[in-house]
Amino acid sequence: MDILNALTTTQKQQLIAYLQEHVTDHKQRLMDEVLAARTRHITVVLENIFQPNNANAVLRSCECFGLQDVHIIEDLYEFRIKRDVVRGGAKWLTLHHYQEKGSLRHCVNQLKQAGYVIAATTLRPGAVSIRDLDIGQKIALCFGTERDGLTEEAHELADIFVKVPMNGFTQSFNISVSAALCLYELTGRLRQSQVNWQLTEAEQLALRAGWMIKSTKYGRPLTRHFFEKQGWPIPEELAWDEILPERVLRDREEQE
């Protein structure tokens, strides 16, 4: 979350300690398990997916298979969360939105600078099986529209073409099915490998703080109250947030 970017490690730890009184023990144990399995070694890029159900289903698969980051190119079609499809999965992900013209190249350049190999999912000649993709390298899997696939620009920017092997007359999958199959294959091999795919302690701490905020009804007002109590600058993102109800504030003061 943007509001956590300026906090030091100690400040994040203090915020977590403050918020955990409002998060159940079960939820906190679940966070431990999920963080231990979370990865940024694989990420997904969605290029102007105009079918909202499909795009949201991909997000759900990303979260289920333990990915943290999804990059959404939307310089042609605006992306919208559909809660009935994504089933709450989106709020646990870090979504990177690219809305300006030329967003694809900007996104790809950022990923390459971060050490990712750009893998375009395609049926074009030269595509290798997803089973043969080297998981020793950081991978950015790119998916295009169900009708047209990835754009020509996406193919030109890719480092490698990959495909899901098929044996039928119909040589194409729904994008959400394709993404799920690719992620199942890659994350399965990754977790059985010696690759250092886990999040760093700093990354886990930042995510835990953000997830704590999202895990309680009054997470944001509580966070604002804690910032005020500590004398920390109030982030603009919280400046106009709802006020903490008197009942909740009174309970907090009694606990302290």
Residues 67 and 163 placed together within one structural domain of the fold: yes
Per-residue pLDDT of the chain (256 residues; tens, 9 = 90+): 678 888 999 999 999 999 999 999 999 999 999 999 999 999 999 999 988 888 899 999 999 999 999 999 999 888 887 766 666 788 999 999 999 988 999 999 999 999 999 999 999 999 999 999 999 999 999 999 888 899 999 999 999 999 999 988 887 789 999 999 999 999 999 999 999 999 999 999 999 999 999 998 889 989 998 999 999 988 888 876 666 666 666 666 656 6
What does the block give as tokens for 107?
């996104």
Same domain membership, residue 43 and residue 28:
no
Number of structural domains the chain divides into: 2
Does this model's pTM top 0.85? yes
Both 15 and 127 in a single domain? no
Q: Which domain range does residue 161 map to?
A: 39-191
Task: Enumerate residues 6+ apart whose C-beta is below 8 A from 94.
Answer: 68, 69, 70
Same domain? For 133 and 85 the reply is yes
**Whether residue 106 sits in one domain with residue 214:** no
Whether residues 124 and 216 share a domain: the answer is no
Whether residue 119 sits in one domain with residue 71: yes
Same domain for 112 and 12 = no
Q: What is the dihedral of CA 116, 119, 120, 124, to 10 degrees?
A: 150
The one-letter amino acid code at 50 reads: F
**Do 124 and 27 reside in the same domain of the chain?**
no
Neighbouring C-beta atoms of residue 173, cutoff 10 Å: 17
Q: Do both 166 and 55 map to the same domain?
A: yes
- Amino acid at residue number 172: S
Q: Which of 191, 214, 237 is the last residue of a domain?
A: 191
184 and 209 share a domain?
A: no
Closest CA to 95 of 121, 67, 120: 67
Give phi and psi for 170, each to the nearest 5: -85, 105
The total number of residues shown for the chain amounts to 256
Considering the domain architecture, whether residues 18 and 114 belong to the same structural domain is answered as no
Burial class of residue 119 in the structure, from the number of CB atoms within 10 Å of its CB (0-12 exposed, 13-18 middle, 19+ buried): buried
Domain final residue, candidates 138, 166, 191? 191
Q: Both tokens of residue 11?
A: 């400040």
What tokens were used for 18?
A: 């403050």
* Chain centre distance of CA 200: 16
**What does the alpha-carbon distance between residue 235 and residue 227 come to, in Å, rounded to a whole number?**
9
Which among 160, 191, 222 is the end of a domain? 191
Q: What is the CATH number of the domain that holds 127?
A: 3.40.1280.10
